Amino acid sequence: MADNDQLDIDGMLERFRERAEAVQKRGLPPVAGPERQQFLERAQLDFQDFAMIGDATWSFVDGVLTLTIDLRPS
């Protein structure tokens, strides 16, 4: 991709925000014991990853897309 006009970065970031919201809303499958804990841990990591990318700001300079994620406390 050589041109920013071909990218819809705002759309991509919106999809990540939607994925983060979907992770929070999805129900638990009928699992118990260690599998349940693994599912919950995976869901938390999925939410964290999607939410961080969804909150990123971006720049596209000289063919390089840079996502900036501010991790400082608000």
Q: Which residue has the higher pLDDT, 15 or 27?
A: 15
Query: What are the pLDDT digits (tens) for 3-16?
Result: 546 789 999 999 99
Q: Residue 69 phi/psi, 5° resolution? A: -115, 115
Query: What are the pLDDT digits (tens) for 38-74?
Result: 989 999 999 999 999 999 999 999 989 999 999 999 8
Are the CB atoms for 65 and 7 separated by under 8 Å? yes
pLDDT at residue 1, as a whole number? 47
Domain residue extents for the chain: 4-68
- Please report which residue ranges of 1-74 form alpha helices under DSSP H: 9-25, 34-54
pTM above threshold 0.85: no
